[in-house]
Amino acid sequence: MAFVNNTMIVRRDLMSKLISLFKEDKLVLEIDRIPITMSPKNAQARGRCCIHKERAVLKYKMLPILGFSIDEEEDELTPLSVYAQRALERTETKKTILTVVDEACTACVKTNYVVTNLCKGCVARSCYMNCPKDAITFMENGQAHINHAKCINCGICKEACMYHSIVYIPVPCEEACPVKAIQKDENGIEHIDEDKCIYCGKCINACPFGSVYEVSQLFDILSAIKRGEQLVAIMAPSIMSQFNNTIGEIAHAVEKIGFVEAIEVAFGAMETTRREGAELQEKLEEGQQFMTTSCCPSYIELVNKHLPEMKPFVSHTKSPMYYTIEMAKEKYPEAKVVFVGPCVGKRKEVMDHPDIDYILTFEEIDTLFTGLSIEMEKPAIEKATAPMPGRGFARAGGVIAAVQHMYPDLGIQPIQVANLNKKNIGLLRAYTKGKAPGNFVEVMACEGGCISGPCGKIDYSAAQKLFRKAMNEA
């Protein structure tokens, strides 16, 4: 779950500025001035040592927005205008999903335990006496000090201190990652291990310096539209949680970007419901203890990379995106398809699917509305809307509710696992050993479901209220 903070505001401001320049055909001409205009001379640096550092950070943060990973940077003297020109001329999307802006990633501690000035230099010295590595010494004023060269981060000293003067300082992105896929290198810069990453996106919003970025396809999509190519948008049901507008108004605004049509993925969700219910019935009749859903791509990545013992229990039914792609291709055989959704995991799913071309996050679609000056308004002709159970896929419990609605006599004993953290991953592992208290397990990477996805434009609390309002009005 993300809270609005300054790093998000900067990211969205950069996106909107670049999109606005694209609209005016000035992207290549004026992009190099953006760091200077955002951090002008004599301005106060926001969280950096100086405006020059801040300008460098802003420059490198624009690379992933343009669709480049930081590893693709040639040298520090290559201007942004060169990358912008390449982004506009590019005809194939990049295969990198996440990248770390190393210029921004320099501030987090390398060790987790620190003695604060609350230390009283007490006689007990429990921290010193219980340290297994003799890592604690005492300064002239009697206060304890941790020798970080010896410290193994066991935390015994913190537990032993009666004054609570030893604190645990996490590395936020590492702490948020449930599978230890992000770690510091010898220079203190975080790197993402693609062999471990499940693309849950928790690291993006956890970083207080905004150094973890998605490699965007914004300008691939805008360039395709400008070339006159036919693009269809397919919108995840959770888009209803992001705007205080009807689904018809949202779809109309999306179409104003240049899409020939915006289709609700909730239509495809009904086919997922039908197939998943039939598969559950078949597996239960065969004597299998339980089956899990397969809609969340981050959960599928978790099973494939870290939880192989769960594979026999995962539904073979495809996600709603797949069946909506089929609908879009049937209606527009020559069109390119763009998924619009709330998460990083879908980037991997889109990359692996041969019949879908691009992806936009809710954050990106909102910056497109801002940068292109698109306002929400009622469409001239109202389209047919998707069934309510399909729209309900957006929130935790939605898949269960849809299957129960379609198969009322199946005898479903539901289990919800919404939030792929270390505790819930352990819980899923226990289920594979015969400890599942039900027969249908809905798994979602995000707390509360897709409406709290890491790439939304508002926080979960506000999204939950908007989604409930939209469902009630529908």
CATH of the domain at 164: 3.30.70.20
pLDDT band at 129 (very low <50, low <70, confident <90, very high): very high
Closest listed residue to residue 84, CA positions, set 152, 38, 26, 39: 26
Q: Is the pLDDT of residue 2 over 60?
A: no
Q: Is the pLDDT of residue 187 over 90?
A: no
Q: Is the pLDDT of residue 454 over 50?
A: yes
Same domain, 307 and 427: yes
The stretch 260-288 carries a mean pLDDT of 97
**Which pLDDT score is estimated for 1?**
47
Same domain, 117 and 94: no
CA–CA dist 397, 378 (Å, integer): 31
Query: Dihedral of CA 136/141/142/143: which sign?
Result: negative
Same domain, 305 and 411: yes
pLDDT band at 21 (very low <50, low <70, confident <90, very high): very high
Q: What are 114's strand-pairing partners?
A: 167
Same domain, 188 and 314: no
State the average pLDDT for the chain.
94
**Which pLDDT score is estimated for 444?**
97
Contacts of 317 (CB under 8 A, 6+ apart): 272, 275, 276, 279, 294
Asked if residues 330 and 339 have their Cβ atoms less than 8 Å apart, the reply is no
Phi-psi region of 222 (alpha: psi -120 to 50; beta: other; left: phi over 0): alpha
Give the range among 138-147, 254-263, 356-365, 403-412 with minimum mean pLDDT.
Answer: 138-147
Same domain, 95 and 134: no
Same domain, 63 and 142: no
Give how many domains the chain has, as a whole number: 3
In a domain, 450, yes or no: yes
Same domain, 144 and 278: no
DSSP line for 199-254: ---HHHHH-TT--EEE---HHHHHHHHHTT--EEEEE-GGGGGT-SS-HHHHHHHH
In a domain, 130, yes or no: yes
**Which pLDDT score is estimated for 354?**
93
- For residue range 309-333, what is the model confidence (pLDDT) as tens digits? 999 999 999 999 999 999 999 999 9
Same domain, 78 and 188: yes
In a domain, 225, yes or no: no
Same domain, 73 and 211: yes
In a domain, 224, yes or no: no
pLDDT band at 3 (very low <50, low <70, confident <90, very high): low
DSSP line for 85-137: HHHHH--S-----EEE-TTT---S-SSSEEE-TT----SS-HHHHH-TT--EE
- For residue range 382-429, what is the model confidence (pLDDT) as tens digits? 888 899 999 999 999 999 999 999 999 999 999 999 999 999 999 999
The stretch 278-299 carries a mean pLDDT of 97
The stretch 284-302 carries a mean pLDDT of 97
In a domain, 1, yes or no: no
- For residue range 221-259, what is the model confidence (pLDDT) as tens digits? 999 999 999 999 999 999 999 999 999 999 999 999 999
Q: Is the pLDDT of residue 107 over 80?
A: no
pLDDT band at 149 (very low <50, low <70, confident <90, very high): confident
The stretch 358-374 carries a mean pLDDT of 97
The pTM assigned to this predicted structure is 0.92
Same domain, 186 and 153: no
Asked if residues 221 and 22 have their Cβ atoms less than 8 Å apart, the reply is no
Closest listed residue to residue 363, CA positions, set 153, 164, 65: 65
In a domain, 44, yes or no: yes
Q: What are 336's strand-pairing partners?
A: 231
In a domain, 211, yes or no: yes
Same domain, 211 and 165: no
State which residues form the domain around 95: 6-105+178-219
Q: Is the pLDDT of residue 79 over 60?
A: yes
CA–CA dist 173, 11 (Å, integer): 17
Q: Is the pLDDT of residue 169 over 50?
A: yes
Cα 28 to Cα 66, 72, 81, 229, 341, distances in angstroms: 11, 18, 5, 22, 28
SS3 content of the chain, % helix, strand, coil (to 5): 45, 10, 40
First CA to last CA across the chain, in angstroms?
A: 26
In a domain, 51, yes or no: yes
- Beta-carbon neighbour count of residue 153 at 10 Å? 12
Take residue 76 and report the two structure tokens written for it. 């520090």
Same domain, 44 and 94: yes
Asked if residues 396 and 442 have their Cβ atoms less than 8 Å apart, the reply is yes
